[in-house]
């Protein structure tokens, strides 16, 4: 897809995930919106996947380590054809398989996630297994920046470097906010790039809400032979809805009717702008 088409697709994902949250009256809005461009680029341009055969042996693997931001992930999977899009309207409803975190009973989801700090460890194990089997498949994992306070992340980071996992590409959704406030107030992460480099990773830093930068970085990975790759994707929490952007309370906020309707009008305006470019 062209960058323009990917931007339009990301907008559709944002519209859908916000509708899911509004209808369900629950969800993690801010982080789902900040990571939409990353997930859209992965599923519509970068990853080797077959929606008609989710368990295809040649597929790339994706683990959403920040499992609470599942709404954009589910939206992208449905729009990519892994399951019927009508199922999205049941999100977090009684007996729905679409719960508030990834559920591997859903086609396209490799692993249940949600307990923060586990995704990178799981991805390291997958990448080691692929290396041992001499397979070319890649493993992508998306982490939240607040998640990096978990010690298991850094154990996995050491292991990835030790085993020279250049088939592993990790992404940090660096929106600088978590449920209790600024990441730097809760548990300082900076200098983040230097920390990952000291653990033996090859690091690139990008604007995670610029589709061009996202696609270029993902397609350039692995960045160096025999080294795991990390993308620090600087994003805006709540990206796309002005009233939500950079506000910590939207980590787990749900829009009221007025805000939801206004956001949908704003999305329509954005769509027209994209069509006129």
Q: Please give the average per-residue pLDDT across 231-239, as a whole number.
A: 98
Judged against a pLDDT cut of 80, whether residue 45 lies above it is answered with yes
Query: In CATH, what number is assigned to the domain containing residue 217?
Result: 3.40.50.970
Judged against a pLDDT cut of 80, whether residue 190 lies above it is answered with yes
3-state secondary structure the chain: CCHHHHHHHHHHHHHHHHHHHHHHCCCCHHHHHHCHHHHHHHHHHHCCCCCCCCCCCCCCEEEECCHHHHHHHHHHHHHHCCCCHHHHHHCCCCCCCCCCCCCCCCCCCCCCCCCCCCHHHHHHHHHHHHHHCCCCCCEEEEEECHHHHCHHHHHHHHHHHHCCCCCEEEEEEECCEECCEEHHHHCCCCCHHHHHHHCCCEEEEEECCCHHHHHHHHHHCCCCCCCCEEEEEECCCCCCCCCCCCCHHHHCCCCCHHHHHHHHHHHHHHHHHHHHC
Q: What percent of the chain has pLDDT over 70?
A: 100
User: What's the mean per-residue pLDDT of the chain?
Assistant: 97
Which pLDDT does position 58 carry in this prediction? 97
Confidence bin at 166 (pLDDT 50/70/90): very high
Q: Please give the average per-residue pLDDT across 186-210, as a whole number.
A: 98
Which pLDDT does position 276 carry in this prediction? 86
Which pLDDT does position 57 carry in this prediction? 97
Q: Please give the average per-residue pLDDT across 222-243, as a whole number.
A: 98
Domain of residue 215, residue span: 3-276
Confidence bin at 277 (pLDDT 50/70/90): confident
Domains of the chain: total? 1
Judged against a pLDDT cut of 80, whether residue 231 lies above it is answered with yes
Which pLDDT does position 15 carry in this prediction? 98
Q: Please give the average per-residue pLDDT across 52-61, as a whole number.
A: 98
Judged against a pLDDT cut of 80, whether residue 79 lies above it is answered with yes
């Amino acid at each position: 897809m062209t960058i323009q088409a990917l931007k339009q697709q990301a907008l559709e994902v944002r519209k859908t995930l916000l509708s899911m949250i509004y209808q369900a009256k629950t969800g993690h809005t801010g982080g789902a919106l900040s990571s939409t461009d990353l997930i859209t680029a992965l599923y519509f341009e970068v990853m080797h996947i077959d929606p008609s055969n989710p368990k295809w042996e040649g597929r790339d693997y994706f683990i959403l380590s920040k499992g609470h931001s599942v709404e954009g992930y589910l939206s992208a999977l449905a729009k990519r054809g892994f399951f019927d899009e009508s199922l999205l309207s049941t999100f977090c409803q009684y007996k729905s398989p679409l719960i508030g975190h990834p559920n591997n009973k859903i086609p396209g989801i490799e692993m249940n996630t949600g307990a923060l700090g586990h995704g990178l460890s799981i991805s390291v194990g997958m990448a080691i297994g692929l290396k041992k089997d001499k397979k070319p498949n890649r493993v992508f994992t998306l982490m939240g920046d607040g998640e990096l306070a978990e010690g298991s992340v850094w154990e996995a980071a050491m292991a990835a470097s030790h085993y020279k996992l250049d088939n592993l590409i990790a992404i940090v959704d660096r929106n600088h906010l978590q449920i209790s406030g600024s990441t730097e107030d809760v548990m300082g992460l900076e200098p983040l790039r230097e920390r990952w480099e000291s653990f033996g990773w090859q690091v690139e830093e990008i604007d995670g809400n610029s589709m061009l930068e996202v696609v270029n970085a993902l397609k350039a990975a692995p960045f160096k032979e025999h080294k795991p790759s990390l993308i620090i994707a600087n994003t805006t929490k709540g990206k796309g809805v002005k009233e939500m952007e950079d506000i910590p309370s939207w980590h787990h906020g749900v829009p009221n009717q007025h805000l939801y309707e206004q956001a949908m009008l704003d999305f329509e305006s954005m769509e027209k702008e994209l069509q006129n470019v």
